[in-house]
Chain A
Amino acid sequence: MGLPNRTKRSRLYDRAAAVLMGVLARLSGLIVIVIAAGLFWKSVPILKNQSLSALLFSSEWYPLRGQFGFLPFIMGSLWVTGTAMILAVPLCLLTAIYLAEYAPRGIREGMRPLIDLLAGIPSVVYGVWGVLVVVPWVKRAAGWFGYSTSGYCVLSAGIVLAVMIFPVIIHMTVEILRAVPQEIREASLSLGATQWQTIKKVVLRKAFGGVLAAIVLGLSRAFGETIAVLMVAGNAVRSPTGFLDAAYPLPALIANNYGEMMSIPLYDSAMMLACLILLGIVLVFNVLAKLVLMRIQKEIQ
C-alpha cells in the first residue's frame, strides 16, 4: 500500500513552472523597452541629420528634399483624438453612471454584453461605416450651417474613433463604479442627499482615479488607432485649424508610407521616428494620468 512517490517529479515541475512563468512575465515587461530601444536605434540616422526640435515643430514635409517636419501629423493626431475624447467622455460617463447606479439589473446585464460587442468589431469595419455613413452625414450637416467640406475631416474621424472607444471607457467605468462600497452611498443618502448629489459628490469622487484610468485607456486606444482613421480623416499634410479640415494623423502616415519609400534617403528612419513619437506621446499621457492619480489619492484617500 501507500501512494506512489512522485515528490521528486512534482517538485521539478513546480520549479520549472515557476521559472517559465517568471521568464514570461519579465519578457512581456521587457517588450516595451525593446521596442522603444529598437525604434530609437532606427531613428538615429535622421536625428543625427536634423535636430529633434526641427523635426517636431517644423511643418515642412518634403521627403524628396530631405525635409521631415512632423508637426502636421502630430497636430492631426491631437485634433482627431481630442475630438474623439470631447465626444466620447461625457457620453461614456453618463452611460456608465446610468448602467452602474440607476439601471435595474435586467437592463444592466443586458446592455453590457452589447456594449462589449462594440469592442469586437474589426476597425476596418468602423472605417467602412465611417466612409459610407459618417463622412456623407458630416458633409451634409456642415452644409446646413453654411460650411463646405468633403466630409473627410477631423470631425468624421473623431466620431468614428469616439464610437470605437465607447466600450473601452464604458466597460471599465461601470466596473469601477460598481466597486464603490454601497455603505458609502448609504451614508450620503441617509443625510438626505439625493441620488444625483450622492453620485456627483461621493461616488465619482471615490472612483475618480479609476475613471481617469479608463479615460486614459480610451485615449491611448484612440491615439494609436490606424485603419479606421486613415479611411476617413482625409490625409492632407497640413495642420488642421478646425473640425472640418482634413487631418493626417501619425498612425495613418506610417501605415500609408512604410515600405514604399526605401529609395528616398532617411525616409525609413523618419518613419521609425514617427513610431517613436507616437509611442512617446501615449507614454506621456499615461505618466501624466499616473501623476494626477497619485496627487488625488494623497488628498482623498
Chain B
Amino acid sequence: MNQPHIRVENLNVYYGSDHSLRDVSIELPGRQIIAVIGPSGCGKTTFLKSLNRMVELAEGARVTGRVLVDGEDIYSPTAEVTAIRKKMGLLSQTPRPLPMSIYENVAYGPRIHGLNDRRKLDEIVEFRLRQVGLWEEVKDRLGQPASRISIGQQQRLCLARGLAVEPEIILADEPTSALDPMSSRRIEECFLELKKDYTIVIVTHILRQARRLADYAAFFYCGRLVEHGPAARMFENPTQRETIEYVKGIIS
C-alpha cells in the first residue's frame, strides 16, 4: 500500500442535535479507488462531504476532529477553503451542469482561478473532454447549453469540469445512480483510467459497482465506520458482523 493521501482523525459531524458521523478515523491510500459503502442514511455522503468541507454548507452543521490532506489539516483555522476544494473534484448524484455552454462549463474552473487566455482555455477544454471521452460527441456544439446533452454526457461533462482545475482527488457521491447502464459503464471506465493519476473516493450503494471498481473499501453503518481495508479482503473476508451481513445482502 502506498502513502496515505487523506488521513481522518476522530471526525464527528453533527447536524443540529443529530450526531451523523461518530468518531471516524481512517487513512485513505493515494491513487486508488476507495469505495465508501453502507446502507442509506449511514453517513456515507456526510463523510464524503466532510473531506472537502462541503458539509459546512448545511445549516447547523458542526464538525470536530481533523482531516489531513497531504499532511495539512483542512479544518484548521488557517486553511484556505477554496484551495482545499480546488484539490478535490466533486461529482454529485445527479449531474448538475452550470447554466452555461458546454465549453464554459469546462472553462469555468480555470477562469475563476484567473486563466483568461483563450488559446490555453481551448486546449484545456479539448484535453479534459477527451479525457472523459466526450470530445468526439460534443466538439461541434461546444457553444450549446450544457443542459441539452444527455444525462450521461452531462455527468461526464461534470467530471471534465472537475478535472479542469487539476485536482488530486475526485470525490464522487453515487455518481451513476441517475444514469442508464451504458452511461454508468462509461463513468466507471473513466474512473479506472483516472486512478493512475488521482485518488478517487466513491460513495456507492451498489455493491457490484464497489466490487468492480474498488481497491480499498470502507463500510459505514449508523454513522460509524465499522470496517475498512483492501477491497478484496473486505468483500471476501469481512470480520465484523454488520459488514458480513451487508456484503451478503442481509442488511441493506
Contacts and interface: CB of A to CB of B under 8 A. Distances in A.
A156 B170 CA distance: 56
Contact of B57 (A186, A192, A197): A186
B199 interface: no
A201 interface: yes
B46 interface: no
Nearest to A181: B96
B92 A300 contact: no
A170 B240 CA distance: 55
Interface in A99-115: 104-105
B94 interface: yes
A192 B54 contact: no
B99 interface: yes
B39 to A, nearest CB: 22
A190 B99 contact: no
A191 B148 CA distance: 22
| Interface range on chain A (Cβ under 8 Å from partner) | 20 to 34
Most chain A C-beta atoms within 10 Å of own C-beta, residue among B89, B98, B113, B171: B98
A184 B99 contact: yes
Interface in B76-122: 82-83, 85-86, 88-90, 92, 94, 96, 98-101, 108-109, 112-113
Interface of B: 52, 54, 57, 59, 82-83, 85-86, 88-90, 92, 94, 96, 98-101, 108-109, 112-113, 145-148, 158, 161-162, 165, 171
20 contacts: A105-B59, A184-B98, A186-B54, A186-B90, A186-B96, A189-B57, A190-B85, A190-B89, A190-B162, A191-B85, A191-B108, A191-B112, A192-B165, A193-B112, A201-B108, A205-B98, A299-B145, A300-B145, A301-B99, A301-B145
Interface of A: 104-105, 181-194, 197, 201-202, 205-206, 299-301
